Chain A
Amino acid sequence: AQSVAQPEDQVNVAEGNPLTVKCTYSVSGNPYLFWYVQYPNRGLQFLLKYITGDNLVKGSYGFEAEFNKSQTSFHLKKPSALVSDSALYFCAVRPYNAGNMLTFGGGTRLMVKP
Chain B
Amino acid sequence: QKEVEQDPGPLSVPEGAIVSLNCTYSNSAFQYFMWYRQYSRKGPELLMYTYSSGNKEDGRFTAQVDKSSKYISLFIRDSQPSDSATYLCAMSRLYGQNFVFGPGTRLSVLP
The answer on A and B forming one complex is no
A→B interface (CB under 8 Å): none
B→A interface (CB under 8 Å): none
